[in-house]
Amino acid sequence: MKKLLIPALLSALIIGCSSTPVDETSGAPVESRSGPGVAPVSAGGLDSRGLPRELTDPKSVLSQRSIYFDLDKYEVKDEYKDLVAAHAKYLVANKGFKVLIQGNTDERGSREYNLSLGQKRSDAVKRSLTLLGTRDDQVESVSLGEEKPKNPGHDESAWADNRRADILYKAPDGRGEF
Amino acid sequence: MMKLSPMPQIFQKILLVLSLLAATLAHAQLSIEITGAGANRIPVAIANFAGDPAAAQVVTATVRADLERSGLFKLVDPASATLDENAQINYGDWKGRGADALATGSLARGADGRMEARFRLYDTQKQVALGGAVFVTGNDQLRAAGHRIADYIYEKLTGEKGVFSTRIAYVVKSGAQFRLQIADADGQGAATALTSNEPIISPVWSPDGGKLAYVSFEKKKPVIYVHSLASGQRQVVANFKGSNSAPTWSPDGRRLAIVLSKDGNSQIYSVSADGSGVQRLTQSAGIDTEPRYSPDGGSIYFTSDRGGSPQIYRMGAGGGDAQRVSFEGSYNVSPRPSPDGKSLAFISRRDGRFQLAVMDLASRQVQILSDSHKDESPSFAPNSRMILMATEIGGRGVLSAVSSDGRIKQRLSIAAGDVREPAWGPFSQ
């Protein structure tokens, strides 16, 4: 956690300095400018949309946002534990950021039951994040059920792609979801 | 009216657009295909009605199509007989043609300019008039008059109320667009109540037929709305943290049972129709969803995975202990009690196929009513005789209607897209 926090604070300071013109004559302490009112920005700088590169760079683990599930199941499988932990770490270090977790299912069965199943999946991811220290008000878990399939196919591999929870970030300035 | 002159180009263009629009609208109509009929159909003749020929043609065509589609009647060809409601009936002649019943009538313009459809129904065996009526309508409502006449004939001859004047709601997905549509029970006269780029699911009619509750994803998550059809006014009924879904009206129309995940799991709540007074009804560690009130309002059927697999349960309308209702198989969902309270339609997974099942509530006997593989969202007609549902044929979403005895089958499809989420409205008031 320290590794992430320190560069985050440093870049917050840098942004604070560069974005606020310093009045040489006022002698105002620099510290006050890095206090409340300055958005904490994570290390690694910003991408072309002004979003933290750490979240959007395809090489960063935090750009991986999907957790896949088995048929009729809603437990987060071991292979996704590290991914969820990395997101929890980021959210703990960047309390201004929020996430929306969207649970999805394959197309088979009742639309409403699938909506609840998708909710179970997003709830499971939310629980993993909050157990690792993410604040409850940073995470909203919702379900899209079978309504927004990422893979429009009708076979086993399409169904596997669609049994999924996605993590979408919202920036402190309200920009989202990315 | 403008004076006659060569049509300006702009008007020609408007005309072209209008005719293209008309073609698109025709494309968007539901078309009905009848794929099964009852065993003992009542032979009935609908004579050509007298009076205004164009109006009479619309009305008689509507009556004949309604009766035919119900699967309970065999239409006897009236040949060229045009008979008004006061014509002398040659009972022997109609009996000879094989008709047990005969309807005659006329269309005339009343003093106020509206059309008056008069008709009389006869029993050719007993050689008596069974009754008659007059329906006054606007010129654009002639089909509605036909539906009223068909309802009258249906009730006189079968003893049950007809559903030809009812409406259905359904969702059409074409491309990335979702349209919530309302149409007459025969699929005609479709009108769009809501267009959205995000999914719309689970429409349900208020008991008075004036409103729909449904789930819309337009806020990027499921939120429950109540939509007044006449005014187009929409109200958010539930937009809590998490998912808001599966609305259903209490039989008195005052409350909705809904499903919320705000307390951490999909659970059933009840809420006033205006969104106030939320009460939690279930307290389980699993999924509780798809609530439906019994027609007397005393209990709620719902789907729950509390026993390890999704099954149908029943509890009191105020919550409390629940009894398991479905037992065969590992996936029984979407319970819909029939309006007469005698049976329960639901979707059952059998050998990987999702099929419409009906349980007789007295004997607990279950019958599978379809041979399809992706049935969803069953909805009873208000007279309990037919069940409308969504299914898939050739990879496309269509609606299918089946009689509660499984004999009569109809298919409703739309050329321009996938049809899903049907809801049959109440009797018209």
Residue A25, pLDDT score = 41
Task: Report the pLDDT value the prediction gives residue A27, as an integer from 0 to 100.
Answer: 41
Q: Considering the domain boundaries, does residue A109 fall inside one?
A: yes
Task: Report the C-alpha gap between B58 and B54 in whole angstroms.
Answer: 7
Instruction: Flag whether A18 is in a domain.
Output: no
**Residue B417: pLDDT above 60?**
yes
Which residue in the set B215, B264, B354 is minimally distant from A108, CB to CB?
Answer: B354
Q: Is A111 on the interface with B (CB under 8 A)?
A: yes
CA distance A31 to A102: 39
Nearest-Cα residue of chain A relative to residue B391:
A109
Please list the residues that pair with B121 across neighbouring strands: B103, B131
Predicted confidence (pLDDT) at residue B166 exceeds the cutoff of 90: yes
Closest C-alpha among B198, B242, B258, B307 to residue A120: B242
Q: What is the pLDDT of residues B325-348, one digit of tens each?
A: 999 999 999 999 999 999 999 999
Is B232 touching A (CB cutoff 8 A)?
A: no
Cα(B414)–Cα(B425) distance, rounded to whole angstroms? 20
- Interchain pair A154, B395: CB under 8 A: yes
In words, the CATH class of domain B33-158 is alpha beta
Q: Which residues of B touch A143 (CB under 8 A)?
A: 221-222, 242-243, 245, 261
The residue-averaged pLDDT of B276-292 equals: 97
Q: Does B241 touch chain A (CB under 8 A)?
A: yes
Which is more confident, B47 or B264?
B47
Task: List, in sequence order, every residue forming a beta bridge with A99; answer none if it has no partner.
Answer: A139, A169
Residue A65 falls inside a structural domain: yes
Structure tokens at B266: 């999909």
Instruction: Grade residue B131 by pLDDT with cuts at 50, 70 and 90.
Output: very high
**Inside any domain, residue A12:** no
The A residues from 117 to 146 touching B (CB cutoff 8 Å) are: 117-120, 123, 140-145
The mean per-residue pLDDT over the stretch B219-231 comes to 95
Confirm whether A50 is domain-assigned: yes
The band of B183, judged by pLDDT with boundaries at 50, 70 and 90, is: very high
Tell me, what's the pLDDT at B412? 86
Asked if pLDDT for residue B1 goes beyond 50, the answer is no
- For chain A, the domain total comes to 1
The answer to whether residue A33 is domain-embedded is no
Stretch A73-87: mean pLDDT, rounded?
96
Residue B28 pLDDT: 61
Binning pLDDT at 50, 70 and 90, where does residue B140 land? Answer: confident
The answer to whether A160 faces chain B, any CB pair under 8 Å, is no
Best of A72, A115, A135 to mutate (most B CBs within 10 Å, chain B): A115
CB < 8 Å from A in window 170-189 of B = none
Q: Please count the residue pairs, one from chain A and one from chain B, whose beta carbons lie less than 8 angstroms apart.
A: 101
Instruction: Give the pTM.
Output: 0.85
User: What is the predicted pLDDT for the residue at A44?
Assistant: 56
A32 half-sphere exposure, CB direction, 13 A CA radius: 5
In which domain, by residue range, is A46 found?
A: 39-170
Q: Does pLDDT of A26 surpass 70?
A: no
DSSP element (H, E) containing B24 = helix B9-27
What is the structure's pLDDT at B197?
Answer: 96
Q: Which residues contact B336 (CB under 8 A, 6 or more apart)?
A: B292, B301, B344, B345, B346, B378, B379, B380, B387
Q: What is this model's ipTM?
A: 0.88
Q: Domain B167-424 has what CATH class?
A: mainly beta
- The 8-class DSSP code of residue B338 comes to -
Residues of A with Cβ-Cβ distance to B374 under 8 angstroms: 108
Mean pLDDT of B374-378: 96
Peptide bond into B116 cis (omega under 30): no
Any domain includes A54: yes
Query: Which residues make up the CATH 3.40.50.10070 domain(s) of chain B?
Result: 33-158
Give pLDDT tens digits for B299-325.
999 999 999 999 999 999 999 999 999
pLDDT at A19 (0 to 100): 40
Chain B nearest-CA residue for A101: B242
Residue of chain B with shortest Cα separation from A126: B264
Please report, for the domain that includes residue A146, its CATH number: 3.30.1330.60
Identify which has the larger pLDDT, B267 or B410.
B267
The alpha carbons of chain B give a radius of gyration, in whole angstroms, of 24
B36 has a pLDDT exceeding 80: no
Q: Do B334 and A140 touch (CB under 8 A)?
A: no
